[in-house]
Structure 1
Amino acid sequence: DTCTTSGPFGVFPDCEGLGASVFLNLVYGYALLTAAGFISDGSELLLEILSPGLVGGLLLPILGAVPDAAVIIASGLGASKEDAQEQVSIGMGTLAGSTVMLLTIAWGGSLILGRCDLSSRGTAINKTLTPKASIAEAANKTGVTTDTDTKTNAIVMMASCVTFLVIQIPAWMGMQANKKIDLAAAAVALGGLALYCGYQVLFPELQRRKIAAAQAKAARKRGAMFAAHLGNTMGGILIDGEVNVQALNKMFEQFDSDGNNEVDVQELKLALVAMSVTMQDTEITDGDVEVWLKEFDKDGDGLISRAEFCAGMTHWVLEQAKNLSVRPRRPSFEGSLREGGRHELSAARGPAHAGLEPLLGSTPEQEAGEGQGEEDESDVEEEDDEEPMTKSQIIKKAILFLAIGMAMVTLFADPMVGAVSSLSKALGLPSPFFASFVLTPFASNASELVSSLYFASKKRKKNISLTYSQVYGAVTMNNTMCLGLFMVVMRAQGLEWTFSSETLTILLVTLLVGYLGASRETFKSRLAVPVLALYPLSIALVCFLDFVVGWN
């Protein structure tokens, strides 16, 4: 195989042979996947501390589109005009593939994983699914239900399609390389981005839901860890796979300071403040209290009963144990949660916390005097990373993750473009578009795909609403920010617009799925198959229009 080096610093290999091209696509694709993961994790950390508004409405949507945008820019810049005309099709493949993948695989897969039984009124019943139903019953009597705001996001997504018409209509009239039209299209698309970000700032419902989900996730982890801490004195929070009820009752009694078998808002806040000291996280706010109350107070009376507390905490502990079983973690915390291993946590004490001593953990000095051996001491060091972080620690970690993700995207976007182009030639494909349509989106959008499927699998209305809203929001960013940058590249290189078939495919899929999302709130499971079928049909449509109709 003939290999050269290219990309940043001229150190990234680019090989022409099939085997080497496949290998490099896997390597660079994995690098972009990792970069997208860092950016997603950094954004999720920011969600734990942000309030919806300027940062949530402007920064986070843009961060989510960075990986695709980097590939689009790299596909047209850094090459001669002749090479750029061919390689820019990789950028279009990334743009089209990302949109189609999100609206078919993510949308349809979420419908399948999130489906619940439908009530007599035709709406989904949260977390209820009849097992072993026939195919006909599953198709027509199960589905998902979203909220009104999700319909609005679908309408916004469809409206963003107008950006493509600015460049496509003149192209149909024979003006494929008009710099003024390219500039106008870029201005309209980037103007659409500004309008969308403004909409997110003025009506930040999607950001509120994302922030609420992130805060609830952090609260569940913190609560499960504290339950594990208290359970250590009683043989562990999990005994033979079952939650230790005695430990939960002890935890409830420490929350219920007046002993009336109910925890009110003031008792909850005092208990969380004390717990935060034990967990070395003193950033308790009224928002944290609201999250706990919302998660536990099922009857909505503003009080948490013993039964509600034990049921909610049982769910949190089991969820955390499940997460540990599917994602490798440091063995120390896993042992504490599952086997009753001692989870040692430091606690700052002072007059401000007088009377709350039962909730405060032992100090390192006290625990060191209880005869713990060297093995436990090493566990303490390993567990430090598992303790909830303070606000400043969250900000530092988020910035670090975002910086790593951005750096990796900068380094590997251009090599990925070269690898896709080489793979396309090695396979004898007529255009690099087809390889980039399939490969690049699964690397750059993997975090959004996994996040969508994970949220949908919770089988709740609020989860599926967030899932579909994220999908519609990501496509809107493709239609504005990514298309705008693509037109900037076209204008800078003086390239011809030869993507009529790709544009029509994007518009058809976006409008079809967008119409579904905007016209109803409940989607029956039978819709999953035709929506998923749009993915291969999109590739077939591009082939037909390019090589049969001759639109290329």
Structure 2
Amino acid sequence: MKIISYTLMFSVLILLITSRVEGNNNEVEEEESCKETYGFLPCTSTALGNSFLIVVYGYMMFSGATYLSNGCELLLEILGPGVIGGSLLPVIASLPEGIIILATGLNGSIATAQEHLSIGVGLLAGSAVMTLTLIWGTCVLIGKCDLDCYRARDETDTKGFNLVDSGVATDIWTSYAARIMTLSIIPLFIVQLQKHLHSSSGRNLAVLIALIMSILMLISYCLYQIFQPWVQARRLDYVKHKRVMTGFLKHLKQHALGRLCNHDGSPNMDVLAKVYEAIDQDGDGALSEGELKAFVIGMHLEGMSVGTDDIVHKVLQEFDTERRDGKIDFDEFKNGISKLLSGFVKRDRAPHESTDNIKYIDAVDEEAEKEHFLLGDFWEEGEKIENTKLTTIKAILLLVAGAIITAAIAHPLIDVVENFSDATTIPSFFISFLVLPLIINSGGAFQVIYFASKKKRRSASLAFCELYAEVTKNNLVSLSTFLALVYVRGLTWDFSSEVLIIFLVCFIMGNLASFRTIFPLWTAILAYALYPFSLVIVYVLNNFLGWQ
């Protein structure tokens, strides 16, 4: 990596010297063709020279983005998903795109800013579209495993490129992340309404409403990031408790000589008394922890690692509701069984005789197992930081270095893209759409694809969650910056077609991922097809339907 950095710096130095020599030989002509950024950075009017500069400045911007990302990760390991980790760090991680968009709108006069703004919207659209199409599809292709019902077999890939029976599976929290991403396009929908407004005040009002909505949704997203770990832990704990209760009832039914409840739903006292006496080994009229442990020791919960002590604790928590003495008397036992069975009746509106059937209890237990599986009980605690002070200093230095690099390189990168557009007559939007997201987000893309390549549901869930979070932050942070520039500087909004493709791609992929956890290979083909489709949409709307 250092060799590459030195090579690029040396190349910039050579180009700088060359530019100076050419400027001395033909100073008047060079002044008319390009302008040096900051008065000393090299510039050129040729397509090849600007291509080289895009690579150089792009690599510097990539380095700055990498520093910011690494700094955020270190701070997140130290602080955890609290107020700072959940609210501030996601915003900091989106700084590169935001700084570039900010530089496009603050660069020079209003006319110049209006001209450069297409670069910012190209980056905004390109980042979202590339993430949800090319990177998303690659994760499915690289991480594919054999699919079986509602799950994928980890590290098992024997079905090749079967479009239906091969793919990836994620947990339910990944679907929730996709739903949040879909909601983040609401400001895009609002700002699109200004196209149908004919007065300038009406268009400004639409931009302002979209800006306010975007900021409010960003705040809401940060709050969600703060409380989401707590919500996830509570939901998982509830499902674990539910699985233990259904498993306990199933285990109890297997040891009962008869029905647990009568046809009218009342407890079958004779059967319950016999089961209770069988568990109550010392005959003192109360089930102790030791007696419960002896009874549940053969109880097995598929796909759930829970000890006997945990099962006993949850059973006591459910049944010992009157005296709270750590024991279960017969009345508590009877009421607890009746409560569990009546819960099935209320939930499924099933007759009492059905809920007492072992097949029905098996079905309920299987449903609880599926719910537990989809929640993904596989999150591991990260490694503890040994030297917290030193790591904090390193994280802050990385953040500062990343912020300085991205802020310094944003302006010259925009100028180079504009110069390349002039030299090739390619609209600057398409250049920023195709090139800038590839350069800036390549580090994160490789990391996400690497996670998916492990061919495990846990890794796939992490990868796709990161993709949806990235698009959500892009839609809210970058769009808020973009709308603020348009409103404050009084710029003209003529990017309806560009914003439309963000809306369409996020809507299609968001709805696809919001209500399913299995993604066969055919979904990757759909994602790949959306990338060229989005470019065609912009070209047709701008050049044939007069949207711009």
Would the TM-score normalized by the shorter structure come out above 0.5?
A: yes
Contact 2:182 2:506 in 1 (8 A): yes
3-state SS, counterpart of residue 98 of structure 2: helix
Q: Cα gap change, 1:525/1:86 in structure 2, threshold over 3 Å: closer, same or farther?
A: same
Alignment correspondent of 1:123: 151
- CA drift at 1:421: 0.9
The unaligned stretches of length 5 or more in structure 1 are 209-297, 303-387
Alignment correspondent of 2:41: 12
Amino acid at match of 1:550: G
3-state SS, counterpart of residue 520 of structure 1: coil
Alignment correspondent of 1:103: 132
Amino acid at match of 1:198: L
Supply the distance in 1 between the matched residues of 2:214 and 2:205 (Cα, whole angstroms).
14
Alignment correspondent of 1:410: 407
Q: 2:454 aligns with which of 420, 438, 458?
A: 458
| Residue 519 (1) aligns with residue 510 (2) | no
3-state SS, counterpart of residue 519 of structure 2: strand
Supply the distance in 1 between the matched residues of 2:71 and 2:411 (Cα, whole angstroms).
23
Supply the distance in 2 between the matched residues of 1:175 and 1:536 (Cα, whole angstroms).
34
3-state SS, counterpart of residue 42 of structure 2: strand
Supply the distance in 2 between the matched residues of 1:438 and 1:462 (Cα, whole angstroms).
31
Alignment correspondent of 2:529: 533
Amino acid at match of 1:71: I
Contact 1:108 1:528 in 2 (8 A): yes
Alignment correspondent of 1:545: 541
Q: 1:441 aligns with which of 416, 437, 440?
A: 437
Alignment correspondent of 1:167: 191
Q: Cα gap change, 1:207/1:414 in structure 2, threshold over 3 Å: closer, same or farther?
A: farther
Q: 2:70 aligns with which of 37, 41, 53?
A: 41
Supply the distance in 1 between the matched residues of 2:146 and 2:76 (Cα, whole angstroms).
32
Amino acid at match of 1:129: D
- CA drift at 1:91: 0.3
Alignment correspondent of 1:31: 60
Supply the distance in 2 between the matched residues of 1:489 and 1:43 (Cα, whole angstroms).
26
Contact 2:50 2:416 in 1 (8 A): yes
3-state SS, counterpart of residue 181 of structure 1: helix
Contact 1:200 1:206 in 2 (8 A): no
- CA drift at 1:134: 4.9
Once the two structures are superposed, the pairs formed by residues 81-100 of structure 1 within 5 Å of their partners are: 81-100=110-129
Contact 2:194 2:207 in 1 (8 A): no
Once the two structures are superposed, the pairs formed by residues 159-308 of structure 1 within 5 Å of their partners are: 159-175=183-199, 178-204=203-229
Contact 1:40 1:447 in 2 (8 A): no
Contact 1:206 1:469 in 2 (8 A): no
Amino acid at match of 1:187: I
Q: 1:145 aligns with which of 159, 164, 169?
A: 169
Supply the distance in 2 between the matched residues of 1:207 and 1:47 (Cα, whole angstroms).
18
Q: 1:398 aligns with which of 380, 387, 395?
A: 395
Supply the distance in 1 between the matched residues of 2:43 and 2:482 (Cα, whole angstroms).
24
Alignment correspondent of 1:497: 493
- CA drift at 1:485: 0.6
Q: Cα gap change, 1:207/1:493 in structure 2, threshold over 3 Å: closer, same or farther?
A: farther
Q: Cα gap change, 1:206/1:19 in structure 2, threshold over 3 Å: closer, same or farther?
A: farther
Supply the distance in 2 between the matched residues of 1:116 and 1:185 (Cα, whole angstroms).
41
Alignment correspondent of 2:254: none
Alignment correspondent of 1:57: 86
Q: Cα gap change, 1:176/1:545 in structure 2, threshold over 3 Å: closer, same or farther?
A: farther
- CA drift at 1:389: 5.4
Contact 1:156 1:476 in 2 (8 A): yes
* Alignment deviations for residues 351-399 of structure 1 (CA, whole Å, 9 cap, x no partner): xxxxxxxxxxxxxxxxxxxxxxxxxxxxxxxxxxxxx851111111111
* Alignment deviations for residues 205-248 of structure 1 (CA, whole Å, 9 cap, x no partner): 7999xxxxxxxxxxxxxxxxxxxxxxxxxxxxxxxxxxxxxxxx
Once the two structures are overlaid, the 10-residue window that deviates more, 90-99 or 108-117, is 108-117
Contact 2:63 2:402 in 1 (8 A): yes
Supply the distance in 1 between the matched residues of 2:157 and 2:432 (Cα, whole angstroms).
38
Q: Cα gap change, 1:179/1:11 in structure 2, threshold over 3 Å: closer, same or farther?
A: farther
Once the two structures are superposed, the pairs formed by residues 369-380 of structure 1 within 5 Å of their partners are: none
Amino acid at match of 1:54: V
- CA drift at 1:200: 1.1
Contact 1:160 1:480 in 2 (8 A): yes
3-state SS, counterpart of residue 155 of structure 2: coil
Supply the distance in 2 between the matched residues of 1:129 and 1:422 (Cα, whole angstroms).
48
Alignment correspondent of 2:264: none
3-state SS, counterpart of residue 43 of structure 2: strand
Supply the distance in 2 between the matched residues of 1:205 and 1:154 (Cα, whole angstroms).
19
Supply the distance in 1 between the matched residues of 2:227 and 2:135 (Cα, whole angstroms).
27
Contact 1:176 1:497 in 2 (8 A): no
Contact 1:25 1:420 in 2 (8 A): yes
Supply the distance in 2 between the matched residues of 1:455 and 1:89 (Cα, whole angstroms).
33
- CA drift at 1:171: 1.9
Alignment correspondent of 1:420: 417
Could you state the TM-score of these two structures normalised by the residue count of structure 1? 0.64
Supply the distance in 2 between the matched residues of 1:21 and 1:71 (Cα, whole angstroms).
18
Supply the distance in 2 between the matched residues of 1:97 and 1:498 (Cα, whole angstroms).
17
Supply the distance in 2 between the matched residues of 1:466 and 1:192 (Cα, whole angstroms).
23
Once the two structures are overlaid, the 10-residue window that deviates more, 411-420 or 57-66, is 57-66
Contact 1:5 1:12 in 2 (8 A): no
- CA drift at 1:14: 3.2
Alignment correspondent of 1:213: none
* Alignment deviations for residues 42-84 of structure 1 (CA, whole Å, 9 cap, x no partner): 1222232222111121122112211110111111112211121
Q: Cα gap change, 1:20/1:11 in structure 2, threshold over 3 Å: closer, same or farther?
A: same
RMSD: 2.5
3-state SS, counterpart of residue 404 of structure 1: helix
Supply the distance in 2 between the matched residues of 1:181 and 1:525 (Cα, whole angstroms).
40
The unaligned stretches of length 5 or more in structure 2 are 1-18, 20-29, 234-303, 309-384
Contact 2:417 2:432 in 1 (8 A): yes
Supply the distance in 2 between the matched residues of 1:421 and 1:97 (Cα, whole angstroms).
17
Q: Cα gap change, 1:420/1:398 in structure 2, threshold over 3 Å: closer, same or farther?
A: same
Q: Cα gap change, 1:175/1:193 in structure 2, threshold over 3 Å: closer, same or farther?
A: farther
Amino acid at match of 1:139: L
* Alignment deviations for residues 262-289 of structure 1 (CA, whole Å, 9 cap, x no partner): xxxxxxxxxxxxxxxxxxxxxxxxxxxx
